[in-house]
Chain A
Amino acid sequence: DIVMTQGALPNPVPSGESASITCQSSKSLLHSNGKTYLNWYLQRPGQSPQLLIYWMSTRASGVSDRFSGSGSGTDFTLKISSVEAEDVGVYYCQQFLEYPLTFGSGTKLEIK
């Protein structure tokens, strides 16, 4: 199975500051079609997950441009510029190169 490892944030993050969440995969997620098969999701407190970023760097419909995804085949970063109260929650990376689909353990964001 592909193991996804996420880093922690130095919580709480001051409102208006930027935050970067890291994710590392045990195998390259670069598909033969040139796309990198990594998603980012946000799970706000008490809510179900929502898609933020797919193919490593493409924002989902309706997602603020404060969110951006980048990386290589195995190392990825979700950057949130100017964090706001509504950004609070747990962020998950997920690979979909192969089954079983696997998620990182999650990174919690708290705002000060």
Chain B
Amino acid sequence: EVQLVESGGGLVQPGRSLKLSCAASGFTFSNYGMAWVCQAPTKGLEWVASISTGGGNTYYRDSVKGRFTISRDNAKNTLYLQMDSLRSEDTATYYCARRSLLPGYVMDAWGQGASVTVSS
């Protein structure tokens, strides 16, 4: 069974850092691109960042470029999101998602989410 389990969320002050992890199991992690998608309270889904299978290619939405870093450790089957210089508008639930092997960008498996609250 495919499983994605996020961890590392919590309450953090503006300007500080937080690192999210997403532990993958039930599939060959290194064969799949991965992504982070966030959802602010009572709001819709917003793509944050994506990473290729080997980690050599990364993509970010403009609002997090230079502040967030997506990475992965294929030996540990784990995806990461390093979040620096956090702002109140980064408050959201962050989901990791698997990019399917189909052409295009189809996210076919999602974690349960990690909650991040940025507040003083």
Chain A residues with CB under 8 Å of chain B are 31, 33, 35, 37, 39, 41, 43, 48-51, 54-55, 60, 90, 92, 94, 96, 99-106
Contacts and interface: CB of A to CB of B under 8 A. Distances in A.
A31 B44 contact: no
14 contacts: A33-B103, A35-B103, A48-B95, A48-B113, A49-B97, A54-B100, A54-B102, A54-B106, A92-B45, A96-B104, A99-B59, A101-B35, A103-B45, A106-B45
A96 B61 CA distance: 13
Interface residues of B, number: 24
A47 B95 CA distance: 11
B44 A51 contact: no
Interface string B49-88: 0100000000101100000000000000000000000000
Interface of B: 35, 37, 44-47, 50, 59, 61-62, 95, 97, 100, 102-108, 110-113
B45 to A, nearest CB: 5
Contacts of B46: 103
A51 B106 contact: yes
Q: Output the residue of B95, B106, B111, B112 with the most chain A CB within 10 A.
A: B106
Given A92-B44, A92-B45, A105-B44, A50 B104 contact: no
B106 A39 contact: yes
